[in-house]
Amino acid sequence: MNNQQLWTAFATIVRREIRRFLRIWPQTLLPPVITMVLYFVIFGKLIGGRIGEMAGLPYIQFVAPGLIMMSVITNSYSNVVSSFYSSKFQKNIEELLVSPTPNAVILAGYVAGGMCRGLGVGLIVTTVAMFFADLSLHSLPTTIAIVLMTSLTFSLAGLINAVFANSFDDISIIPTFVLTPLTYLGGVFYSINLLGSFWVTVSLANPILYMVNAFRYGLTGITDINIVWAFAMLALFSGLLFGWALYLLERGARLRS
């Protein structure tokens, strides 16, 4: 395939993915926004007023970056895992795999679609957050880079989950038992400086900790970890997931009947 054909294949997959979640926007875009509003009201206004400050910031301003990242993470992940598994369940993924379209282009198309939903919901939640918190912008390059890398990482993770899933019930296992605990233990609602040395060490194995802190640094200039180290860890995670996802597509196991 020449470059024009590769671009056409990629753009077609991305357009289909975007139309898919926009067509059912009351189910894909509205619920996460309502959930985040409740977080802002409960944790920001009600509880945050009693807590006062965290890491030198008003509590609602401290948690706002983490809540925005939660929306990006969950929506990037859920879009790809549900879409790819649906294609696998309906057997139309086999048509893509036997076509001349390279597997890297197929992977890029699905991941880009997941990133579009994650970034779109993240933008909406950020707009909502401005009504609750006084958000500033400390570093635009850091903010943009970390949100793009986070969306990429969890879109890749969603595709891998979809490959291994054997039923629609299986696609909820990882979000429920892995993703949710990692998110809540990833420094969204607290500074890891409040933890003992043992739990700080344990927290450093959580990739979401790096994402949340790097994004918080981009908005507020406050972070619990080294930003360079955060980007290095995130690049490592995304690189490993990309290689694994591409290998699974190349191998074709669990995808072809």
Name the 3-class secondary structure at 109. helix
State how far the Cα of 230 lies from the Cα of 208, in Å rounded to an integer: 10
Q: Give the angle subtended at the CA of 185 by the CAs of 150 and 197, to the nearest 5°.
A: 115
On whether the pTM is more than 0.75, the answer is yes
- Which whole number is the average pLDDT over 148-177? 90
Residue 226 pLDDT more than 70? yes
* 253 Cβ contact partners less than 8 Å away, ≥ 6 residues apart: none
pLDDT level of residue 180 (50, 70, 90 thresholds) = confident
Residue 214 pLDDT more than 70? yes
Residue 244 pLDDT more than 90? yes
Per-residue model confidence as pLDDT tens digits over 118-134:
999 999 999 998 888 88
State residue 256's pLDDT score.
66
Instruction: Count the Cβ atoms, other than its own, within 10 Å of residue 196.
Output: 8
Q: Give the angle subtended at the CA of 118 by the CAs of 161 and 46, to the nearest 5°.
A: 110
Assigned token pair, 216: 């918080």
Closest CA to 63 of 44, 50, 46, 49: 44
Per-residue model confidence as pLDDT tens digits over 181-201:
888 888 888 888 888 888 888
Assigned token pair, 68: 């925005």
pLDDT level of residue 257 (50, 70, 90 thresholds) = low
State residue 150's pLDDT score.
95
State residue 96's pLDDT score.
85
State residue 47's pLDDT score.
79
Which range is most confident: 47-61, 165-179, 201-215? 201-215
Residue 13 pLDDT more than 90? yes
Q: Would you mind telling me the total number of residues written for the chain in this entry? A: 257
Residue 204 pLDDT more than 70? yes
Under DSSP, the state recorded for 75 is H
Residue 252 pLDDT more than 60? yes
State residue 97's pLDDT score.
82
State residue 231's pLDDT score.
93
